[in-house]
């Protein structure tokens, strides 16, 4: 019986951590890698039901947002 509990616990942990073989990249990595960021965003947009909350999808989208905001003139005009 304890063997089954261990197997179930390991299966639950593997499911929660998302063992899909893909390493997770942070926002800084996606900001530095344009091609990979754009490819990941397209992949995520193609399957939002499965990938919407995936760490790499969120990090790639955040990197794109930060790059977009940093490229604009966000100064407050002085009158």
The per-residue pLDDT for range 2-58, each reduced to its tens digit, is 666 665 555 555 555 454 678 999 999 999 999 999 999 999 999 999 998 999 999
Sign of CA dihedral 37, 64, 42, 14: positive
Whether 46 maps to a domain, the answer reads yes
Whether 26 maps to a domain, the answer reads yes
Domain that holds residue 65: 21-71
Number of domains in the chain: 1
Whether 56 maps to a domain, the answer reads yes
Instruction: Provide the pLDDT for residue 47.
Output: 95
Whether 4 maps to a domain, the answer reads no
Closest CA to 27 of 78, 66, 79, 70: 66
pTM flag (> 0.75): no
Instruction: Provide the pLDDT for residue 39.
Output: 97
Instruction: Provide the pLDDT for residue 19.
Output: 47
């Amino acid at each position: 019986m304890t063997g089954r509990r261990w197997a179930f616990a390991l299966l639950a942990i593997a499911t929660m951590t998302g063992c899909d073989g893909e390493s997770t990249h942070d926002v800084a990595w996606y900001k530095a890698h344009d091609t990979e960021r754009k490819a990941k965003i397209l992949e995520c947009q193609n399957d939002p039901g499965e990938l919407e909350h995936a760490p790499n999808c969120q990090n790639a989208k955040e990197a794109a947002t930060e790059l977009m905001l940093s490229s604009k003139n966000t100064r407050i005009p002085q009158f």
